[in-house]
Amino acid sequence: MFEGRQVIDVTRKILSGMTVWPGDPGVLVERTDSISDGAVANVSRISLGVHSGTHMDAPLHFIDGGKDIDSVEIARLFGCVLVVEAPSDRIGEELLEPYDLSAVQAVFFRTRASMRDEMTPFWDEYPAITAECAEYLIQNGIVMVGTDYFSVELCRDNLYPVHKTLLSHGIAIVENLALKDVEPGVYDYICLPLRIAGSDGSPVRVLLFR
């Protein structure tokens, strides 16, 4: 299936002390048993919030009683994705109008946020999707939406209309993608969350294929 194809990993690394959304749990990766200290094997553990690094929001994140991450339909987790360059802070539907979205299942937006790495301090002026763009994506049958920073939503919008609109229609939201080296265009994708029963989100591994 993948022989001769370019594979691009667009997942951010999980690192101790990496930047998280303000107020979320910090990230810790530590070795609990070490061969160099006499243990028979190296064993590590991690402590992190489910919205750390590259992650997926389940409907439960903003919809009380919504589906948890274990209930997200498998069919949404792979298919064709359109990567779109979003040059301004406002990610509007006009960016999508030149494209035939009937040929893809997902849209990822590449913004200037992709220039920031896992340890760069939190930035509250990141580009975000407009409510009108969210509606346009729904109307065109998109089942997964991704951005390259911590939220699809403006940091200062405490009503979360974009999250609620997308998640109420069962659209998977993937945030904090690593799209710095990805050219705009159409790719095949796989996006796999952990099966965490009852969770409102999960870290994911996201791969693009061309």
Q: pTM here?
A: 0.95
How many CB atoms lie under 10 A from the CB of residue 48?
A: 19
**Bridge partners (DSSP) listed for residue 33:** 43
* Closest by Cα among 29, 69, 27, 17 to 52: 27
pLDDT of residue 4: 80
- Give average pLDDT by consecutive 10-residue segment, the chain, 210 residues: 84 98 97 98 98 98 96 95 95 96 97 96 95 97 98 89 96 97 97 97 97
pLDDT of residue 172: 96
Torsion of CA 7, 58, 52, 82, to 10 degrees: 30
Three-state DSSP class for 14?
coil
Q: Residue 176 is encoded by which pair of tokens?
A: 């904090």
pLDDT of residue 38: 97
pLDDT of residue 133: 97
> What are the structural domains of the chain?
7-209 (3.50.30.50)
Determine which helix (DSSP H) or strand (DSSP E) holds 8, and give its type and residue range: strand 7-9
